[in-house]
Amino acid sequence: MTSQPGSQRTWIITGASAGFGRAIAECAVGRGDNVVLAVRRPGSVADLADAHRDQVLVAELDVRDTGRAGDVVRSAADRFDRVDVLVNNAGRGVVGAAEEVGEEELRASLELHLLGPAALVRAVLPYFREQGSGTIVQMSSQGGRISFPGVGAYSAGKFALEGWSEALAGEVAPFGVRVMIVEPSRFRTSFNAPDVLGFADAGAAYTGLLGAVRNDMASADGIQEGDPVRAAEIIVDLVAGDELPLRLPLGREAVERIGRSYRQNLEELERWAPTARAADFPGAPASARPI
């Protein structure tokens, strides 16, 4: 079963107070859909809720509080009778070398980018399976396919989300449930804002290596080339259509950087393939896999 153009949908969107989440919510509401805004600070979306009382429900949620996931999904179903789209959007960047980012901050990143979204997916899937339809949009990043010095803690959560979601897509497809992983490059959201983007305390050993990375991340706020409104329209259009990609690099830089990474990885694989194949038992038959 695929989404029918023109039908009213009910969305649950995390991190809907700003950036992609807010833009997707506004686009969906503008097209007549219902939206549950799952946010840490309900007051941050009061204007949208007041302007669209019949279409908008605000649910207080810190995504890392996985025990609240079921409550949010139930509130959406109780208010609007069904749930059609889950957008796991909440996220936060952190910059620092592996030696600089402590266990507490690394764990918080994994909770925000993997464990929280996973809990919401588990909570919504029974509704989707019963309906025979539903769409899960996982807001990842180009940093969920490629990484570089200084962003390992952030990429760890996004890489994990992508691997988990790729398996999920195959598991739920027989029930009419679709999964799309969105991999944006730099968009003009609050991601790079001084009070949002996190920086680990810089160690002297990494000053030279990561100084340029820190400066680049800190200076990007307000000049990012990506338009969140255009991105939201693309996402909402795809959700409304019959064809949905598993992965959607979003923005020119994401297309170019991820594409270059794919080509480099393939070249390295081919270069080392003879060495890798030599690890098998001589003459052993190839594996037979169910998938």
What are the phi and psi torsion angles at 136 (to 5°)?
-115, 120
pLDDT for the residue numbered 289: 87
Distance CA 146, CA 259 (A): 10
Select from 180, 101, 105, 185 the least CA-distant residue to 141.
185
Neighbours of 239 (CB within 10 A): 21
Q: What are the DSSP calls for 180-237, one per residue? A: EEEEE--BSSSTT-TTTSEEPPPPGGGHHHHHHHHHHHHT-TTT-SB-HHHHHHHHHH
User: Residue 72 above 90 pLDDT?
Assistant: yes
**Which residue in 158, 165, 185, 206 is the catalytic one?**
158
**Which residue in 109, 133, 140, 141 is the catalytic one?**
140
pLDDT for the residue numbered 1: 32
Digit-coded pLDDT (tens) for 54-70: 999 999 999 999 999 99
Digit-coded pLDDT (tens) for 134-159: 999 999 999 999 999 889 999 999 99
17 catalytic, yes or no?
A: yes
pLDDT for the residue numbered 218: 75
154 catalytic, yes or no?
A: yes
pLDDT for the residue numbered 35: 98
158 catalytic, yes or no?
A: yes
What is the distance in angstroms between the CA of the first residue and the CA of the last residue of the chain? Answer: 22
Distance CA 86, CA 88 (A): 6
**Which residue in 109, 127, 154, 165 is the catalytic one?**
154
75 catalytic, yes or no?
A: no
Q: Output the average pLDDT for the chain.
A: 92
Distance CA 25, CA 8 (A): 14
Digit-coded pLDDT (tens) for 1-24: 334 445 899 999 999 998 999 999
